[in-house]
Chains A and B, each alone.
Chain A
Amino acid sequence: MSAPLDRRAVAARILSARGDALVVTGLGNPTYDVAAAGDTALNFYLWAAMGGAAMTGLGLALAQPRRRVLVVTGDGEMLMGLGSLATIGVERPSNLAIVVLDNEHYGETGMQPAHTGRGVDLAGIAAATGFKLAVTVRTETELELLAAQLFTADGPLFAAVKVSTAPSPTSLPPRDGPYLRSRFREALLGADIHR
């Protein structure tokens, strides 16, 4: 068994192929991981609204059917919004992908164990709701396979990427809400959107 994947390396690998994809992050470490891979106006970081990352991604994917939308979140955040997997499974947006960086713990609150380390299979749940692809990724080889599909394959796509609990260096993106939403919309829709 190889060493568990490093969350920052996984985020960097996945995002290196993003092109013009729109990225929504779930609060806590996934927000920091995506920021560490490169802050851009087309990242929308959630700093709260726990359980809402996947659905924010759905609304965005329906509004922008020609753009790939990637949600990067954590296992605790995804568990809080499990019903949203059912909603997305029913709506079947072909341009939406969800990656859960799954360290099987609540990293932001003191590393309490999460259900994903105690037998709950998020990819299994996503598959059961109708996602086109739903995988659990544990190795570099599987990560490469995922990276090749994430921005091109027909969605909705779901991947739980198992990562280690090793701490990462601090990487805090902007957290001012109006700034984050306005820069995102301007980059996506043009400056006239503010009129």
Chain B
Amino acid sequence: MSPSWPADVFHELQNARVTQVAYVPDAGHGQLIGLCHADAGMRAVSLTTEEEGVAMLAGAWLGGQRGVLLLQSSGVGNCINMLALNLECRIPLLALVTMRGEWGEFNPWQVPMGRSTASALETAGVLVYRADAADDVAPTVRAATALAFHSSRAVAVLIGQRVIGTKSFEK
């Protein structure tokens, strides 16, 4: 059975009038990405690298639209320099980050970026919230969305690997 938090997050994004969705394909966000693509009121854009989305969503906001960046913790490092747009211009950023490299991780190469995800974002100046239970994800996204768009801040929600489930390498 698929979890319900992706649909709950999708409704939070709809309620917040988020219309541009920038993402790097990710299993943890798979269900949410599918919902966004299927919605006629949203434009979901697949990126080659995460920092493209930071710039794209800054452009969206300059043009009067709200956006969300969906990424995996491994992509957070790619974004840091591009955050100058948000942090100097006080342009909102809503980033939903699925965590790797923690709860039951099989792939040791995911551990370094997973361990530094929160501190890298905070050091850069991004406000970081975290959900480690499925029921906490949507309320946390709702609060982060309000903070991002009402207070013009860069906000990231980290969705713990415990929520998503440990990736299986069995094919």
Contact = CB atoms under 8 A, between A and B. Distances in A.
B108 interface: no
Interface of A: 22, 24, 44, 46-64, 81, 83-84, 86-87, 90-91, 177-178, 180-181, 184-185, 188-189, 193
Nearest to A53: B55
A131 to B, nearest CB: 15
Given A52-B85, A54-B55, A177-B88, 7 more contacts: A59-B22, A61-B59, A62-B59, A62-B63, A81-B52, A181-B89, A185-B64
Interface stretch (B39-47, B118-126, B137-145): B39-47
6 closest cross-chain pairs (CB), A and B: A63-B63, A59-B59, A83-B48, A52-B55, A177-B89, A55-B55
Interface of B: 19-20, 22, 43, 45-49, 51-65, 67, 81-82, 84-85, 88-91
A55 B52 contact: yes
Contact of A44 (B43, B49, B62, B88): B62
A59 B48 CA distance: 15
17 contacts: A48-B85, A59-B22, A59-B55, A60-B60, A60-B62, A62-B43, A62-B45, A63-B19, A63-B62, A83-B47, A84-B48, A87-B45, A87-B46, A87-B47, A177-B90, A185-B64, A188-B63
Nearest to B22: A59
A181 B91 contact: yes
A70 B115 CA distance: 40
- B52, B58, B84, B85 interface centre (most CB from chain A within 10 Å): B52
Given A59-B67, A90-B46, A184-B62, A83 B52 contact: yes
Contacts of A84: 48, 52, 55
A59 B82 contact: no
Given A178-B90, A185-B64, A55 B59 contact: yes
Contacts of A49: 54-55, 58, 81-82, 84-85
Contacts of B90: 177-178, 181
B64 A59 contact: no
B69 to A, nearest CB: 11
